[in-house]
Structure 1
Amino acid sequence: MSAQDKDERIAEAVRLREQGHPEQARERLLALTAEFPDCVDVAYQTAWVHDVLGLEAEAVPYYERCLQRGGLGDDDRRGALVGLGSTYRVLGRFGQSVETLRRGVEEFPDDGALRTFLSMALYNTGEHHEAMQILLRLVAATSDSERVRRYRPAIEYYAADLTRTT
């Protein structure tokens, strides 16, 4: 099978997932995984479809595989880091979630999704102060609300130390 045929089969599976047919997408991706066990694109899409189906434990090895081998484009790498970090969190593996999401934020510091999921994982590990700092900074930096923008300096000031009262 040519690389083009493989890419077309991956694209077909993605379309099925996006059109609300994740079980059919999963079948196709599992077949592709058997044929191309080292292909990071197949591993990433297989992880994603397992997550969509609520099969988080089954998604983990595919996420880990695609991230360990390298070769994903930046958008897919971001998605894989969010996916794995979020999946670890859902499975109660909070430490691994924080570790994965911190790595993602280090690689992609401007990614608001990675920072949001990191804040949730930090909350689960009892690191409430850091979780709130991340969220407050994200709100201050990205909000379209005129009122939030007006108070951005104050939000950023207090985000630095939530115990401040002045």
Structure 2
Amino acid sequence: MNTDSEYETVDAPLAQAVRLREEKTPRAHEELVSLAARHPHDAAIAYQTAWSHDSLGFEAQAVPYYERALNGRGLAAQDRHGAFLGLGSTLRVLGRYAEAREVLGRGLSEFAQDAALRTFLAMTLYNLGESREAVRTLLLVSAATSRDPQVQAYRPAIEYYADRLDETE
């Protein structure tokens, strides 16, 4: 576990590396990897390092950092949400659909109605051959989050039929 003095020495370099990543400076990735090697138990560093790998197209290398972030302590709720989303979507892209489903499900147990997690779960369900549940999930997300007045006017019907896709009169 990090001590207060360790946080003081880690916070500034991490903030600098994140700023460089946000500015798309190539050096950011190297700095994050170096920080992660020096502070293997720091969940925030692991999350930022995973994000860096992902944004550079190194999805497979991002996975252990996401896992480290989620298994660590002290990750802010917003970053924890991002780690669930990042890991779940990365596993899906890698074709590891069952693992993606499990991670996204864990994320939804903490962030129950999150539209982004539910949307990535829908894509994963489609990849698993569960098209009906994927469409149902997307319909419910659309009904709950759309600002379109027509969608909102029909929201009760959309929600009703989301569970009755195969019914006919």
- Tell me which interval the TM-score lies in, with the shorter structure as reference length: over 0.9
**In structure 2, how many angstroms separate the alpha carbons of the residues matched to 1:165 and 1:73?**
47
**In structure 1, how many angstroms separate the alpha carbons of the residues matched to 2:112 and 2:168?**
29
Q: What's the counterpart of residue 152 of structure 2?
A: 149
After TM superposition, where is structure 1 displaced by more than 3 Å over at least 4 residues in a row? none
Mapping 1:64-79, distance limit 5 Å: 64-79=67-82
Q: For each residue in 1:18-66, what CA deviation from the matched residue of structure 2 results, as whole angstroms up to 9, or x when unmatched?
A: 1122x31111111111211111111010000000000001000001111
CA-atom RMSD in angstroms: 1.2
TM-score by length of 1: 0.95
**In structure 1, how many angstroms separate the alpha carbons of the residues matched to 2:20 and 2:96?**
30
Pair 1:14-2:36 in alignment: no
**In structure 2, how many angstroms separate the alpha carbons of the residues matched to 1:35 and 1:117?**
33
Amino acid of the structure 1 residue aligned with 2:16: E
Q: What's the counterpart of residue 112 of structure 1?
A: 115
Pair 1:49-2:52 in alignment: yes
Q: What's the counterpart of residue 62 of structure 1?
A: 65
Residue 71 of structure 1: SS of its match in structure 2? coil
CA shift at 1:6, angstroms?
1.0
Mapping 1:72-151, distance limit 5 Å: 72-151=75-154
Residue 161 of structure 1: SS of its match in structure 2? coil
Instruction: Judge which range, 63-72 or 100-109, deviates more.
Output: 63-72
Q: What's the counterpart of residue 36 of structure 1?
A: 39
Aligned-residue identity in percent: 54
**In structure 1, how many angstroms separate the alpha carbons of the residues matched to 2:57 and 2:67?**
17
TM-score by length of 2: 0.93
Q: What's the counterpart of residue 167 of structure 2?
A: 164
Q: For each residue in 1:95-137, what CA deviation from the matched residue of structure 2 results, as whole angstroms up to 9, or x when unmatched?
A: 1001110111121012111001000011000011111111101
**Which residues of structure 2 form unaligned runs of 5+?**
none
**In structure 2, how many angstroms separate the alpha carbons of the residues matched to 1:39 and 1:122?**
32
**In structure 1, how many angstroms separate the alpha carbons of the residues matched to 2:97 and 2:37?**
31
Pair 1:3-2:7 in alignment: yes
Q: For each residue in 1:123-159, what CA deviation from the matched residue of structure 2 results, as whole angstroms up to 9, or x when unmatched?
A: 0000111111111011101110001001101100100
**In structure 2, how many angstroms separate the alpha carbons of the residues matched to 1:99 and 1:70?**
20
**Which residues of structure 1 form unaligned runs of 5+?**
none
**In structure 2, how many angstroms separate the alpha carbons of the residues matched to 1:2 and 1:86?**
32
